[in-house]
Amino acid sequence: MENEAFEMHGAAGPGPKEEFKGKPGSVSMLKIFFLCLLASLITTAVAILALALIGRARGAEFPKNPARDPAASEGTGKSIDPKFQFLHHLSKAKIHKYPGGEMQWARFRKNLRDYENLEELEFGLSINGRRSQISVGMLRIRRRGLRVPHWHLNANEHGVLLEGTAWVGVVGPDGGEATTFAVRAGQAVFFPRNWVHWVQNVGHGECVWVLFFSTHEELRTLGAEQAFFGTPEDVAARALRPEGGVGFIRKFRKAREEEPIKLPATPEWPIPNSSWPQSAEANVARFFYDLKGSAEFPFRGGVFQWARFRENGTGLAERERIFSQSLHEHENTLTLATLKIFGNHLGQPHFHFNANEMGFVVSGCGQAGLTLPSSSLTFPLSIGDVVFFPAGSQHFIQSFCQEPLLLVLAYSTGSQLQTLRMEQYFHGIPKHILAQLFHKEPAEFQKIPKD
């Protein structure tokens, strides 16, 4: 607010005493100054009091994080288990509905109202504070449902279809034609940042995806319909040049949340079908990878399959080489894998030099553990859980069931993953160093076998 008293005081002409001298009932400039100062002080005090009341009210609405603020849990008897910095029960997370399906998230959010509980908040703060470069979502698309065309402003997207059959489309820069292709359970997709993409459920049942996004910040997404309705009608009409001009544009309307998407009627829904065109394989391979049908990499206790960049492309099929190059030519992409640990077996302790790791439990049961400079934690794993291992933290995953423990994993690197296992560094460290470290005779370490 501008202060007229200061403007008058700075104006050219007679001084204040001369200006008001001899005028009955006039108020001195000094009194005006003090009155304005008093009014400003009162206004400031009222504003501070209002903010304090609002803050107190918000404190009642938004749960604080007792794990980070011990005072927040006083009188409630509640505290947050540190494991929730690395574990998220995604299958129990808040459900966000949209036309055609629903989404559940394990990610950071700026608005505390978007967290379902303190455990979700703890996980969101953890992956953001540790700069995970990965967020996770579970996408369900109803029968004949559609995840409408959209793009992500701050992340690449990598996904694995867990159930169902989908028809996917991708449109890149410079007005190129859409690349469209079929995806079935166990296969993976890649959508570069800001590339328009959509997913239609063309199977008989539900379509279920686990999706990884290459950001630890709040994901920023723009839908094609949002962009359209955010454009003035006359501008949209001049850009699209439809018959009927602006009148045609005005007939568009937004879909309601529970309104089904209209899809073309086809004799049989499962693809391939003439109504669901498939692009040339060389184009499809940039965004599609048959993870389930790829080579297996066994280890003691289980097996890996990878959708990743490889520095040495020797022995790769042409479609695998194209996918590898596609990952590497875009910034901040992820490496995907499926990890199967056989019943009652161990994925041994190890750590990654160049990537954070995040995983989604598809089936089975077990436990995970990790060691950080300040602490060590172990916690159970069950279907629908998300687990997070920061780069450099030693971690393991163990199966406790008769059936295999199956996870889909994402690593925050588009380069070749660098990993070191416990048995490798035990054999790499000289035995006399190990003897001093653990107060044992050097010969004792001969009992640790090499594979």
Mean confidence (pLDDT) of the chain: 84
Strand-pairing partners, residue 346, are 398
Superfamily (CATH) of domain 91-284: Jelly Rolls (2.60.120.10)
What local confidence, expressed as pLDDT, does residue 312 receive? Answer: 85
* Cβ count within 10 A of residue 331: 10
CA angle 168, 333, 159 (to 5 degrees): 35
- Domain 91-284 and domain 302-437, same fold? Reply is yes
Type of residue found at 48: I
What local confidence, expressed as pLDDT, does residue 220 receive? Answer: 97
Q: Domain spans of the chain?
A: 4-61, 91-284, 302-437
**Per-residue pLDDT tens over the stretch 355-396:** 999 999 999 999 999 999 999 999 999 999 999 999 999 999
| Residue 205 scores a pLDDT above 90 | yes
Instruction: Please give the C-alpha separations between residue 389 and each of 117, 277, 339, 356, in angstroms, as whole numbers.
Output: 21, 40, 15, 6
Strand-pairing partners, residue 367, are 380, 398
Least-confidence region, from 77-91, 295-309, 342-356, 426-440: 77-91
| Residue 432 scores a pLDDT above 80 | yes
Burial class (CB in 10 A: 0-12, 13-18, 19+), 365: middle
What local confidence, expressed as pLDDT, does residue 43 receive? Answer: 65
Q: For residue 300, what are its two tokens?
A: 């003691």
Proportion of the chain above pLDDT 70, given as a percent: 78
Are 121 and 129 contacting, i.e. CB atoms less than 8 angstroms apart? no
What local confidence, expressed as pLDDT, does residue 32 receive? Answer: 66
| Residue 136 scores a pLDDT above 70 | yes
What local confidence, expressed as pLDDT, does residue 29 receive? Answer: 64
Superfamily (CATH) of domain 302-437: Jelly Rolls (2.60.120.10)
* Cβ count within 10 A of residue 59: 11
Task: List, as own/partner pairs, every contact residues 168-175 make where C-beta atoms lie below 8 angstroms and the sequence separation is at least 24, other chains included.
Answer: 168/197, 168/198, 168/199, 168/200, 168/287, 168/288, 169/197, 169/198, 170/195, 170/196, 170/197, 170/287, 171/195, 171/196, 171/197, 172/196
| Residue 44 scores a pLDDT above 90 | no
What local confidence, expressed as pLDDT, does residue 273 receive? Answer: 53
**Per-residue pLDDT tens over the stretch 242-285:** 999 999 999 998 876 555 555 555 434 444 454 578 899 999 99
Rounded Cα–Cα distance for residues 6 and 29 (Å):
9
What local confidence, expressed as pLDDT, does residue 10 receive? Answer: 36
| Residue 212 scores a pLDDT above 80 | yes
**Per-residue pLDDT tens over the stretch 289-310:** 999 999 999 999 999 999 999 8
**Residue 33 confidence class, pLDDT cut points 50, 70, 90:** low
Of residues 71 and 358, the one with the higher pLDDT is 358
What local confidence, expressed as pLDDT, does residue 45 receive? Answer: 62
* Cβ count within 10 A of residue 357: 26
**Residue 62 confidence class, pLDDT cut points 50, 70, 90:** very low
**Residue 177 confidence class, pLDDT cut points 50, 70, 90:** confident
Proportion of the chain above pLDDT 90, given as a percent: 69
What local confidence, expressed as pLDDT, does residue 176 receive? Answer: 72
What local confidence, expressed as pLDDT, does residue 31 receive? Answer: 67
> Of 67-71, 143-147, 411-415, which one has max mean pLDDT?
411-415
Of residues 420 and 51, the one with the higher pLDDT is 420
| Residue 6 scores a pLDDT above 80 | no
Look-up of token digits 């200061």:
6
